[in-house]
Amino acid sequence: MSRRRIFIVLGTRPEAIKLAPVIWACRARPAEFETIVCLTGQHRELVRPLVDYFDLRPDVDLDLMTPGQSLAELTSRCLTKLDAALAEHRPDVVVVQGDTTTAMTAAMAAFFRRVPVVHVEAGLRTGDLNSPFPEEFNRRVVTLAAALHCAPTERAAANLRAEGVADDRLLVTGNTAIDSLLWARDRLKSEIRNLNFVHDRPLVLITAHRRESFGPGFDGICTAIATLAKKYPDHRLVWPLHPNPQASEPVRRALADLANVELIGPLDYSGFVLTMDAATLILTDSGGVQEESPSLGKPVLVLREETERPEGIAAGCAELVGTDAAKIVDRSSYYLDAAARGETRPAIANPYGDGRAAERIVDALYRLTIVL
């Protein structure tokens, strides 16, 4: 069999983090795969440091991002430029991850050219097309186009089966987020040995960027953080802001004057892993952070009305609190007070993965290429 050309498309921060182990695993089999890495550039500053950190070595950079991009204009530019890239590189398989505009348009462009699509992190669903918006729509489109569905959990696989995806096109792999996290944690340990150096005061880590929370949702979160900052004056509340001005400006307006609230720019991945590890509590609407936190033993309050990641909630590592200020304050206080009393949390196995997802995905990718 000739070497198969694998075209791996990524555009945003979480795709870079979650596809890095897949890129490495493909490159580790040069006799079988020619690996082409394509950045759409949907994100710019957020992805640039990850290219170096994970040694992604992109072959194609479509450099698409524009400030304040609308979903429709981003979609149309991505689709057109990806189609041209596929015409030029003529891959045998296209690999996409998750539910971003990059993933959706890459899956569509490949489908239109009749190139099989492998979907990494397949089968996540809330059941509500408007939440998360537009990601629930995007991932359903990717499912329609995919030839191979790599579900991170049994629950995600069950969602796909319920939609009629056949078992021979579906496998449970774990989430590659955990591959990357464990790799980064080991690297940090060998670099600095002591991950506790930032534990001088209790730290609460906050992130938020979801479109469906713009407006009242962000107002509720900010009111909660202001209340917590006053209630726990000896705690640090650290919020690495997303570069999207719609997600950062309301936060700056509401919280800039509070002495123990630290509004900082996005952290590079190793800095973020260190900060998660230092945190007593994490408040987030991020998908990736929900997946990573169980490996670090950190409780997470999910700042959303629903989540496509119910496994962490079922395992007792996360709670869904939405964006209501009173509820966020109440549940945060519960965890912060318990930590102040010295109560420790039992270690649990991460329900999202064991660090070997990429290996399973690339084995399945190889099996798919044999039948092409």
Size of the site for ligand UDP (CB under 6 A): 16
Site residues for ligand UD1, 227-266, by CB under 6 A, read 243-244
What is the set of active-site residues? 99, 121, 135, 209, 211, 242
Please state the closest distance from residue 265 (CB atom) to ligand UDP, in A: 8
21 binds ligand UDP (CB under 6 A): no
Site residues for ligand UD1, 50-69, by CB under 6 A, read 65, 67-69
Specify the 3-state DSSP secondary structure of 60: strand
74 binds, among ligand UDP, ligand UD1, none (CB under 5 to 8 A by kind): ligand UD1
Measured CA to CA in angstroms, residue 226 lies from 108, 232, 250, 320, 329 at distances of 43, 10, 13, 20, 10
CA distance 179 to 20: 9
Rank residues 43 and 149 by Cβ distance to ligand UDP and give the closer one.
Answer: 43
Do the beta carbons of residue 344 and residue 162 sit within 8 Å?
no
Q: Select the span of 44-52, 193-201, 334-342, 352-360 touching ligand UD1 (CB under 6 A).
A: 44-52
Specify the 3-state DSSP secondary structure of 163: coil
11 binds ligand UDP (CB under 6 A): no
Size of the site for ligand UD1 (CB under 6 A): 22
CA distance 130 to 235: 35
Site residues for ligand UD1, 67-106, by CB under 6 A, read 67-69, 71, 74, 99-101
Torsion of CA 221, 336, 293, 206, to 10 degrees: 30
Q: Pick from 10, 17, 117, 148 the residue near ligand UDP by CB under 6 A.
A: 17
Please state the closest distance from residue 248 (CB atom) to ligand UD1, in A: 9
CA–chain centroid gap for 71, Å, is: 19
CA distance 11 to 39: 5
Burial class of residue 244 (count of CB atoms within 10 Å of its CB; 0-12, 13-18, 19+):
middle
Burial class of residue 104 (count of CB atoms within 10 Å of its CB; 0-12, 13-18, 19+):
buried
269 binds, among ligand UDP, ligand UD1, none (CB under 5 to 8 A by kind): ligand UDP
292 binds ligand UDP (CB under 6 A): yes
For tokens 């462009």, name the residue.
Answer: 109
Site residues for ligand UDP, 129-188, by CB under 6 A, read 177
For tokens 């890129």, name the residue.
Answer: 23
Please state the closest distance from residue 209 (CB atom) to ligand UDP, in A: 6
45 binds, among ligand UD1, ligand UDP, none (CB under 5 to 8 A by kind): ligand UD1
DSSP-assigned letter for residue 55: T
44 binds, among ligand UD1, ligand UDP, none (CB under 5 to 8 A by kind): ligand UD1
Instruction: Report which of 258, 269, 279, 268 is spatially closest to residue 200, judged by C-alpha positions.
Output: 279
12 binds ligand UD1 (CB under 6 A): yes
- β-partners of residue 301 are 283, 319
CA distance 182 to 190: 12
176 binds, among ligand UD1, ligand UDP, none (CB under 5 to 8 A by kind): none
- β-partners of residue 300 are 282, 318
Do the beta carbons of residue 184 and residue 219 sit within 8 Å?
no
177 binds ligand UD1 (CB under 6 A): no
Which positions from 247 to 286 touch ligand UDP by CB under 6 A, shown as an x/- string?
-------------------xx-x--x-------------x
Task: Catalog residues that contact ligand UD1 under the rule CB under 6 A.
Answer: 12-14, 42-46, 65, 67-69, 71, 74, 99-101, 134-135, 209, 243-244
Task: Catalog residues that contact ligand UDP under the rule CB under 6 A.
Answer: 13-14, 17, 177, 207, 209, 240, 266-267, 269, 272, 286-289, 292
